[in-house]
Amino acid sequence: MPSHGTPHTADGLGNPLTLDDAASLALVDDFVMGFLSTEARAVNLLALAEHDASPIVQAYCATLHLFAESREAAANAQPFLAKAHAGADRATPREQRYIAAVQAWAEGDIARAIALHAEQAREHPRDLVSVKLGQYHCFNTGDCPGMLRLALAALPAAAEVPYVHGMAAFGYEQCHLLREAETSARRAIGLCRKEPWAHHALAHVMLTEGRLAEGLAFMQSVSDTWTGLNSFMVTHNWWHVALFLIDLGRDAEALAVYDEHAWGVVKDYSQDQIGAVSLLARLELAGIDVGERWDDVANHLRQRQADHVLPFLDLQYLYGLARAGRPEAEVLLHNIEAFAPVAPASTRAAWQRVCVPAARGLVAHARGDVAGAVEGLGIALPRMIEIGGSHAQRDLFEQLYLDALVRTGTEAALAGAQGLLQQQLNGQPESLRLRRQADAVYARLGLGQLTRA
């Protein structure tokens, strides 16, 4: 046993650790490096839960449970946090701060968690687990500058680590700093070709800039490295491949990506579920028949009627259930409306002012009530960043709003749709999906001479 409160080893990034058993180090490093590289080996740490009461081991186990993003996650994490707190007096200040940040997350106090991760990045910039977790919280609350600040705080002290460049790349991209994002992503990939988070950041850049054929070719060229990843990372990178295919009009290939790579890895996991919902919706909006696929997804969404972990997740669970015609959609909608006023203080405004009207609009769209969809989504869209998600992910809500405008069919609604569509087409001239949609709107506006059939 180590002497009381004295670290006797360090993780793979050089951060001192207070461990009960030096033999635990290998699995701790599986967590640290696996979390940074989005590899499935991060969960190997759970094997230590019963054998090593070290505060940081217990806090990392709590982290893994909270990443389930389920209704039960906080309760499942609490026993590990209790053990972490029980031994915290022998932990290092870095470990103590990390424990406090995870406790704040479990309690729903995301603002405090972010503040603690920001402090950690300044004091211990090579604690990249803390940096990445802080970025996760900033992402989920729409704080894109916060994501970038965290990565840049760590960068000088960890410049040789590819994953910190990947974190910086995504922070830059979400702040619309696309040149800097691409430079950082390519730096990460230069250090390690298998850096799926950097691949993902570069896909965002290319999608945003309308470099659709280039983006597809790039993602396909690195897809051989997407092995041993957690289900979110592998399905999400294939989700990006599918987006390029949809925009390029390669419909059958996009549907095949959904079937073979985007749905079916871990069907009970939150991120796999919302990826499936948003991809099915996009396929349909592009005019692609998805058959009975909604039913399979909805079967796995029934467990989500009272989750309320993140508004961004709830909205997509809701649309999936509603689009499949499930009665659980009405239950989830009522539960969202009831939860919003009592949500944790740091996220309550997002639940009340964004999630509730968006939820009503999504259910309306799924049921063919286009006026209700325009009303609800129209209220929420200007503030949609507050519920988190990336630009590419939130684009789903804009596409559904646009679809409702077109289906409303009035001249005013079509005029609004024209303005939105043409701006998008200007940014993505390669997009056959947007060209088809714009042509249809121009034809209905009596401007058929502007179509390029």
**50: nearest Cα among 27, 75, 73, 74:** 27
Confirm whether 215 is domain-assigned. Answer: no
Confidence (pLDDT) at 452: 76
Confirm whether 35 is domain-assigned. Answer: yes
How many domains, the chain? 1
Percent of the chain with pLDDT over 90: 97
**Binning pLDDT at 50, 70 and 90, where does residue 8 land?**
low
What domain range is 50 assigned to? 9-157
Confidence (pLDDT) at 2: 40
**212: nearest Cα among 41, 447, 429:** 429
Confirm whether 50 is domain-assigned. Answer: yes
Torsion angle in degrees (nearest 10) through CA of 341, 343, 344, 345: -20
Confirm whether 162 is domain-assigned. Answer: no
Distance CA 410, CA 395 (A): 23
Confidence (pLDDT) at 307: 95
Compute the mean pLDDT over every residue in the chain, rounded to the nearest whole number.
Answer: 96
Distance CA 55, CA 343 (A): 29
Confirm whether 192 is domain-assigned. Answer: no
The single-letter DSSP state of residue 427 is H
Tens digits of per-residue pLDDT, 76-106? 999 999 999 999 999 999 999 999 999 999 9
Tens digits of per-residue pLDDT, 344-353? 999 999 999 9
Confirm whether 446 is domain-assigned. Answer: no
Tens digits of per-residue pLDDT, 177-232? 999 999 999 999 999 999 999 999 999 999 999 999 999 999 999 999 999 999 99
Confirm whether 64 is domain-assigned. Answer: yes
Specify the pTM: 0.96
Q: Does the pLDDT value for residue 236 go beyond 70?
A: yes
Mean pLDDT of all residues in 390-419: 97
Confirm whether 28 is domain-assigned. Answer: yes
Distances (CA, A) of 75 to 13, 267, 270, 346: 30, 22, 17, 20
Distance CA 41, CA 32 (A): 10
Mean pLDDT of all residues in 393-405: 98
**Binning pLDDT at 50, 70 and 90, where does residue 6 land?**
very low
Confidence (pLDDT) at 164: 98
Is the separation of the CB atoms in 248 and 216 below 8 Å? yes
Residue 449: CB atoms within 10 A of its CB come to 7
For β-strands 9-10 and 16-17, DSSP reports them as: antiparallel
Tens digits of per-residue pLDDT, 278-333? 999 999 999 999 999 999 999 999 999 999 999 999 999 999 999 999 999 999 99
Distance CA 88, CA 18 (A): 10
**Binning pLDDT at 50, 70 and 90, where does residue 451 land?**
confident
DSSP characters for 335-388? HHHHHGGGS-TTTHHIIIIIIHHHHHHHHHHHTT-HHHHHHHHHHHGGGGGGG-
Confidence (pLDDT) at 404: 98
Mean pLDDT of all residues in 394-401: 98
Q: Which residue has the tokens 């990460």?
A: 188
